Structure 1
Amino acid sequence: MSCLAWNCHGLGNWRARIELKELIQAKDPLVVFLSETWSKKDQLEKIRCNIKYAGLFVVPKQDVGGGLALLWKHGVTVWVDSFSRFHIDAKVHGGSADAWRFTGFYGAPDAQDREDAWAMMRLLNSKPHLPWLCMGDFNEILFTEEKGGGRIRPHCQMQAFRDTLDVCGFVDLGFTDPEFTWNGNRHGHIIWERLDRGVANHDWLEKFPTATIRHLHYVELDYRPLLLILDPNGESQRWKRKPFRFEEMWLADRGCSDTVLRAWESQPRGQPMFWVSTKLKKCKKMLKAWSKDHFGSVKKQIVQKKELLWKAEEELANGGSHDSVVELRRDLNVLLDKENHMWAQRSRIQWLINGDRNTGYFHGVATQRK
């Protein structure tokens, strides 16, 4: 079992929606908390239906920014107890002996409003006692070591955050993988900070003693998703073998036509229809081999390019080159466009404009046809 928390920085970006869906498919979280959705309830309801989750609770956006959402799977009972612009507080497995609290939290982005957020957290602490987990984007760090680049964080801001966690009896759950969860450019300086985290009280830690948090990788956004794994020994992923398809994007490579010509030059014996069938089978076999060796899997290339991007970003955090990050992001965007084109072909929807890059829409229609 796992829980996912992510400052998605607006789900109007189709790539953010695709990345969210891929994360959920790969990690299969029990509960998903999203902050800064910048979305209305009907938009989030479409996402809930797309990922096939049972429940959704929304705190609408205010003006342009903000917005929170909590989603949960079928088979789990979730009772939303309270909410504000800073949080959604819920009981997981409500009404049973296994009940525990999940609070998705979003700290005020402006320092002058942060005390209001901490006051809300202290108020939540006054509720009836249960094993309690709180995770999300707190927009604050605990120690100076959790920031790289830019101005030094005022001690009073960090101390206010530490005091609030102490009042609530929270313990930082730590993390694995990359050190920072956010990066951005401020006044010409690249800044890295650990703004996102999970904290829990001692009762929750006794209930889930092996729970760990992973800082996941990201492509489009400034924030890393947080994955809380409640039972690391039970984590698993499923892989499916896909049928052969001729991809329209292959036509952009001359090797495709050369491969077809070589396959069609064969001279099988038998009746004309048998010739055609045999040549088609040979063409399919040769195209699969050519695609694997020369063109490659777009999905695999995306994964490889992402891994290179993660390494480049880690090097950048330690004084590496920013140019390499920009170049890798550019290459990754080209591959994402190819993937979008692939799903557009599979959907067989010809009336959509060729330049529409809504991969999520194409993917949904294509998979419904299976």
Structure 2
Amino acid sequence: MSQLCWNCRGLGNRPTIQELGNFVRAQDPSVVFLAEMLLDEARLGSIRDTLQFGHHHGVSKISHGGGLALFWKKDFHLSIESFSQNHIDVVINKGKDNAWRFTGVYGALETHFRMETWNLIHELQRKFSLPWLCGGDFNKLLKSHEKHGGRLRPYGQMEKFREVLDECNLLDLGYVGNKFTWSKNFPNGGMVWERLDRAVSTANWIDFFPATKMQTLSCVSSDHSPILILPVGFIVKSQRPWCFEQIWLENRGCHDTVVEVWDRAVSGSPMAAVVSKLEACQHKLMQWSKNSFCNVSVELKEKRKLLQVAEREAAQGKNVEVFMQLKSEVRDLLRLEEKMWQQRSHGHWMVSGG
């Protein structure tokens, strides 16, 4: 049982939907909260089906910005309590002894509207006494060390955020992985890093889930990193069985491997020779895919690990070029992986952006 929160900066394009699908398959969250989806509620049904969730609730965008969405599993007992352009508040296991709350938060981007966000958190705090978890893009720093590069944030704004959390008895859950969840690079090579996305909870929620971790994930399709809230630890997915990948046809090595096997002389009847060559092709293609073409999912996983390290170094002003190069390589691998998943679904499960 985990919760994924992400300011995805728009679900109307294929790479973002694909990367979201990767996160859902790898982490298997029970609940996904998205901010700045930039879509009307009518589009969410197809995305819900694409991600194989049972339910969803959307808050449509206003004009050209905003929009929130919540997806949850079919067998997950969740009830919507309230929502706005800045939040979706739900109760899990309502009416039972193990009931608790989750609020997906999207803090106002404009400084002069931040007080409305703080007032909203106060209002939500007064509604229930249930164990309470909040997660999302608060668009605010708690302390000065949560920013690297650029101008310092005004102390008064950070102090007000801390006061709101204290008054509502909300504790920051910390993080595993990178500290910073948002970054921006400038043409002159400079970069700014901030920790805008986080999870906070009441003490009685921590009593419910004392082993909770909040992990920062790396991504390339948004300037915000997703956060994964893990009440009971990490989930390891089993590997898929080997199969012929359509994307291999785009690489000359696949053709050469098949020709090499097929040109060999094999004794026996014609049918036995065909079966023998097919088996040999499979064996050789497995070796070739590992040694020459490489497994895209494995390479993507390794590149993401390198990207996390490079992101931390770039946040300290080191090897920014390496960080940008790795982001580009991850994007290329995501495009290759998309073709793999289109083949495996037999129905081209990715929805078209636009």
- For this structure pair, what is the TM-score category when the shorter chain's length is used for normalisation? over 0.9
CA distance in 1, matches of 2:214, 2:133: 12
CA distance in 2, matches of 1:168, 1:271: 79
Map of 1:176-325 to 2, 5 A cutoff? 176-185=176-185, 188=188, 189-232=190-233, 235-245=234-244, 247-325=245-323
Structure-2 change in CA distance of 1:54 and 1:276 (3 Å)? closer
3-state SS of the aligned residue for 1:360? Answer: coil
Structure-2 change in CA distance of 1:253 and 1:4 (3 Å)? closer
| Structure 1: gaps of 5 or more residues | 350-357, 363-370
Cα deviation, residue 187, structure 1: 8.3
CA distance in 1, matches of 2:223, 2:238: 29
Map of 1:4-23 to 2, 5 A cutoff? 4-23=4-23
Q: C-alpha deviations, 1:163-213, integer Å up to 9, x for none?
A: 111111111111111111111136854111111111111221222222111
- 8 A contact 2:32–2:72 mirrored in 1: yes
What code does the residue aligned with 1:302 have? L
What code does the residue aligned with 2:336 have? K
Structure-2 change in CA distance of 1:139 and 1:186 (3 Å)? farther
Structure-2 change in CA distance of 1:248 and 1:125 (3 Å)? closer
Map of 1:138-149 to 2, 5 A cutoff? 138-149=138-149
State how many pairs are aligned.
351
- 8 A contact 1:172–1:198 mirrored in 2: yes
What code does the residue aligned with 1:36 have? E
- 8 A contact 1:90–1:101 mirrored in 2: yes
- 8 A contact 2:220–2:331 mirrored in 1: no
Normalised TM-score (structure 1): 0.88
Q: Bigger relative contact order, structure 1 or 2, given CA contacts below 8 A and separation 6+?
A: 2
Structure-2 change in CA distance of 1:253 and 1:87 (3 Å)? closer
- Find out whether 1:360 has 2:350 as its counterpart: yes
- Find out whether 1:36 has 2:36 as its counterpart: yes
Structure-2 change in CA distance of 1:248 and 1:216 (3 Å)? closer
Cα deviation, residue 54, structure 1: 2.2
Aligned CA RMSD, in angstroms, stands at 2.1
CA distance in 2, matches of 1:347, 1:212: 32
Give identity over the alignment, percent. 40
Structure-2 change in CA distance of 1:319 and 1:226 (3 Å)? same
3-state SS of the aligned residue for 1:242? Answer: coil
Normalised TM-score (structure 2): 0.92
* Match of residue 47 from structure 1: 47
Map of 1:76-91 to 2, 5 A cutoff? 76-91=76-91
* Match of residue 105 from structure 1: 105
CA distance in 2, matches of 1:343, 1:208: 35
CA distance in 2, matches of 1:301, 1:143: 36
- 8 A contact 2:172–2:200 mirrored in 1: yes
CA distance in 1, matches of 2:165, 2:341: 46
